[in-house]
Amino acid sequence: MDKNLKLPSHIAIIMDGNGRWAKKRNMPRAFGHKQGAKSVRAITTACAELGVKYLTLYAFSTENWKRPEQEVGFLMKLLSDYLDKETKTLIKNNVRLMTIGEIDMMDPHLCKKLKDVKKLTSKNTGLKLVLALNYGSKREITRAVRSIAADVKNKKIRVSDINEELISKRLYTAGIPDPDLLIRTSGEIRVSNFLLWQIAYSEIYVTDVLWPDFGKNNLMLALEEYSSRERRYGGIKAK
Ligand code: IPE
Ligand code: IPE
Ligand code: MG
């Protein structure tokens, strides 16, 4: 890798386009999801090797429950298989698994498996792989508002204690720095209820490449583009 490349510490990805990838091949959508899981492996490994600190992957949204039961079931099974097969590799690569979203509302077996793998990898010091599961940013913010309001009511905090830092601490992402780079595959130019608070100043990169086709070479192109961007945060160009 080019030494002058500025590496983001946190990359967040909206993994999109599995269904279209399968449709192009006259295959069922499930085939696209299966292939998409291979991209998850490739990109996780690449990020671990590059020294990226956080990789957040949008895997299942609060809106994705609207899909046919069969597709939802397939996605859950895929996640379960991923955990069975991949835990060894995560440990070997010093990757720590984390989740954001309401996993307690998912299948109890799957939820337990997720918690076990999170615990097993909790001491790993390399890449933090954050899976967004049953995640919705509006729900996340609503929960935060409720918990803060309850604390005010119980006199644990005062209204004047509410600031951006406190709000950040009440989100699922508490303790995780905001993403530097947000990637969305498959050409859709929208955020689909993902990390609305946290992407306030993220650099956004949208590619037409469908998620099952997204490999390390595509990641490197996104990183080159990120590296060439000037982040001003509302200020003016640095001299
Ligand atoms: C992304 O691919 C995977 C999930 C949302 C779980 P899609 O399934 O949304 O694929 P398209 O957008 O229909 O092509
Ligand atoms: C966003 O993709 C959710 C995930 C990648 C998990 P969708 O395919 O669900 O989003 P929309 O419906 O195109 O906005
Ligand atoms: Mg989609």
CATH number belonging to domain 10-136+178-228:
3.40.1180.10
Average pLDDT over residues 61-85: 98
Question: CA 52, CA 146: separation in Å to the nearest integer?
Answer: 33
Q: What residue spans define the domains of the chain?
A: 10-136+178-228
Ligand 2, CB within 6 Å, residue ranges: 14-16, 58-61, 64, 188, 190, 192
Question: CA 76, CA 82: separation in Å to the nearest integer?
Answer: 10
In this prediction, residue 229 carries a pLDDT of: 97
Ligand 2 center to 159 CA (angstroms): 36
Cα angle 134, 135, 137; round to 5 = 155
- The pLDDT tens digits for 136-152 are 999 999 999 999 999 99
Cα angle 34, 40, 46; round to 5 = 145
Ligand 2 center to 11 CA (angstroms): 17
> Is 239 within 8 Å of 23 (Cβ atoms)?
no
Ligand 1, CB within 6 Å, residue ranges: 15-20, 60, 64, 75, 186, 211
**Structure-block tokens of residue 208:** 């037409």
What amino acid is encoded at 176 in this protein?
Answer: I
Q: Buried (b) or exposed (e) across 174-185, using 16+ Cβ within 10 A?
A: eebebbbbbbbb
- The pLDDT tens digits for 93-131 are 999 999 999 999 999 999 999 999 999 999 999 999 999
Q: Pick the catalytic residue from 2, 18, 26, 64.
A: 64
Q: What ligand is nearest to the CA atom of residue 193?
A: 2
pLDDT at 2 over 90: no
Question: CA 192, CA 182: separation in Å to the nearest integer?
Answer: 12
- The pLDDT tens digits for 203-230 are 999 999 999 999 999 999 999 999 999 9
* Atom of ligand 1 at shortest range from CA of 61: 5
pLDDT at 161 over 80: yes
Ligand 1 center to 16 CA (angstroms): 5
User: pTM score, two decimals?
Assistant: 0.98
